[in-house]
Every structure is written in structure tokens, then in C-alpha cells.
Amino acid sequence: MSVSPIDSAIYGGLFTTPAMRAAFSDPARLQRMLDVEAALARAEAKLGLIPAEAAAEISAKADVGRFDLEKIGKGTELVGYPIVPLVKALGQACAGDAGRWVHWGATTQDIVDTALVLQLREGLDLIGQELDGIEAALAGLARRYRDTPMAGRTHAQHALPITFGFKCALWLAPLQRHRARLARLREEVAVVQFGGAVGTLASLGADGVRVMAGLADELALRVPVIAWHVGRDGLAEVACFLGLLTGSLAKVATDVALLMQAEVGEVAEPHQHGRGGSSTMPQKRNPIACEFILACARNVRQLVPVMLDAMVQDHERATGPWHAEWVALPQAFALSAGALHHTRAMLEGLIVDPARMRRNLDATRGMISAEAVMMALAPHLGREEAHHLVAAACDRALASGRHLREELGAESEVAAHLSAERLDELLDPGNYTGLATEFVDRVLAQRPASPD
């Protein structure tokens, strides 16, 4: 039975992906803890602190498939942590006296945190894979529609012409920055946790740092300068990154949903029979991917403050904040994966209607090009007077329903400085996209070159 939609057999496919769910599942979580215990035994055996045969036996038996997860769950409920029942089960599974060397010199949080780091590394890799696909899809759209004019909108109103490629480049640029953040963050969080009861490694004496380094080497992690039992900034930064990433995806989803409105109709999510349908209205094609991108992103943003709050930890081991991370961080990863999955599928199959974009450009009867006319008149009349003249013409066009060309053509001051041909040229929105195409090229130039 599932309480969270993330783990639901009904809703689960809408909120996350099987790969991310598997990475943070109970078997995966316990296996990562067993991986850490086995790595610790091997590191200590190399240093001569425990018998080599014991380390080999511990490593051989550190397989989650050997253990009763329900029994470990009941032990966790009793103790408050999974390590005690897990270590007991691992020790009992080992032959001979190898079991007494399990968990040598470690504390619960060493194992739990290091296991979490291994999960984060896998989760960030999965995010990177989806981000690759999204960036490629957006780059393709930006390139294909580099010169396709459409209405730029501010305050939900027509503003000036842009190109659809420019809009796609606006979506792409933050994701390129997130790519750089991801690469840096993946390295920064790949740090082993090993400090013993209060972070001093007193249980191992002078060998403590060597064991920590050996454990890090076994797991391909970095060695911290000091234990981070209560220094949770790295984990909080991971959560903030997920909030930033899904916020950018939500921006894309918001734009696509608005562009899908019947009154706009410039793009549409890829359609398959029944998707986004209504139980009563046969014509409906709802922006279902956008809706779940937005839902996932909203929930991730709510989890970010939990992780920031969990930084406030008391003394050398926390009373409560650590446990809050257990709830927040896996959910943030799961929901981020859902947002990424929907965004990638939507953009890879996005339906774009350039003809509708052109019709919408023309819908305001030339007024989207009012600034172009104003700027052409400004050298002759002054910017303020030119603005006043063109704004008055726009007001008359709005009231009369006529094209702005008619109202401007009737103005003697316009005719005195702009020929009919020049006025027609200025009122063509395709001629006033500024440096939109240049900015598309600038964003695309940030992408790494394809391998030969």
C-alpha cells in the first residue's frame, strides 16, 4: 500500500521515473549501506586493522538479497536507525568470527551519510542523462526555428516580435548553466562521511584518517578535511540545485501551456490517442505534460526549505534535523526526475505552428510594430513626440478596428518623413526581431562540439 503518489502503482508514472525510484528504493538504500560496510572492512584489512579473510567474508555477504527487509524494518522502528539491525544481520550472515569485525570503528551516521552520497551520485547522473536529452531537443528547436517570427509577450500582452528560436534559446540558456552547476556539484558532494561518534575518530586512534582515506578510495569518493555530521551545506546545495533546475523546467512548461491555449495555438504537446483527454469533452487536448512538470516543480520547491532548515543542527550530532533529510531529499530527486522526463518527452515531440505564429503577429493589425515606426520617426521628431504620435494612432486603430497602417498613413508628419514603402517595411513584424537570431547563435555556441 502506498501513501505517496511517487510510489503509487496508479500515479507513480506521472511523478517520477522507474530509474530514480529504484535509486532511492529500500533495497537500493540498504545495498548502499552494505556497500559502505564492505568497503570499510576492505580498507581496514589493507591497513592490518582487521583480518583480510574477515573483510573478504563481509564483502561476500554484503548483498541485500540475503536479508529480510521486513525484519530490518521492524528493527529500525525499534532503534530509530536501520544500521543496528542491518549490521546485526550482516554479522550473523558471515561465517566464522568475521561478523565481529563488521562496522569496526564506525558510527551509524557514517554509514547512512556515505550511502546517501552514493545514492546522490547515481541520482545526479540520472538527472544529467535527462538534461542531455532536453538540451539537445531545445538546441534542435532553436536551430530549426531560428528565423521564425512570433509575438514576444510582456505582461501577457503582445510586445515586440521575436523568433521562436529565440524563445527556445531563452529556455535553453538556464539549462546550460544548470549543466555547469551539476558538474561542479557532483564532484563537491562526492565526499565520504567517516568520523565516529562525534567526528574525532577516537575509536580508531592514530589510524582514523588512514581508514577514512582508505574507505574513500574504495568508494571513489573524496576525503573531507573534517567530518560533516552536522555540516549539511552540501546536501542543502543539492536540494537548492534541484529547486533551480525544476524552476527552469516549470518556466518552459508555463510558456508551452500558454502557447497551447486555443486562442493562441502556436505550439502543442505531442499527441497520442487519449492523452490529455477529458471524460466529457471529446475535443480536449489538455497540456498534461506541462501540468505535471509544474506539479513536480512546485513540490520540489517546497522541499528546499526543509533541507535548508535541516542545516540548523545542534552540537556534534543533531536531534531531528538529520531525520528530516530522509524524507525530503529522496522526494526531491524523485519529483525532479518526473519533471525532467515530462519536459524531455514534450520537447522532443513538440508541435510548432509557424503559420499560426504569423497570424497572431498580424492579429493586432500592425500595432506590434509600433515601436519600429516610433524609432524611425524619433530622429526627425524627437523620441517623446514620436512616441506620442504613434501612441495616438494606436488608440485610434484600437477604437476603429482599422489597421495601424491606415491611421499612420493619414498623419501628415508621418508622410513627411516616411515613404509608403518604408512604412510598410516598418510595419512588417518579421523585419523587427532585433538581434534575436544572433542571440540564438550565441546560446547554441555554448554547446560542446559533437564528437567526430
Residues with active-site annotation: 155, 278
Return d(Cα 47, Cα 450) in angstroms, integer: 45
- Per-residue buried b or exposed e for 284-315, using 16+ beta carbons within 10 Å of the residue's own CB: eeebbbbebbbbbbebbbebbebbbebeebee
Pair 308, 223: CB distance under 8 Å: no
Report how far Cα 105 is from the mean position of its chain's Cα atoms: 38
Return d(Cα 39, Cα 359) in angstroms, integer: 64
Pair 6, 21: CB distance under 8 Å: yes
Return d(Cα 287, Cα 3) in angstroms, integer: 26
Report how far Cα 200 is from the mean position of its chain's Cα atoms: 36
- Using a 10 angstrom Cβ sphere, with 0-12 exposed, 13-18 middle and 19 or more buried, the burial of residue 445 is exposed
Strand partners, 268: 351
Nearest to 226 by CA among 212, 205, 238, 215: 212
Query: Which stretch of DSSP H or E encloses residue 158?
Result: strand 157-163
Pair 444, 142: CB distance under 8 Å: yes
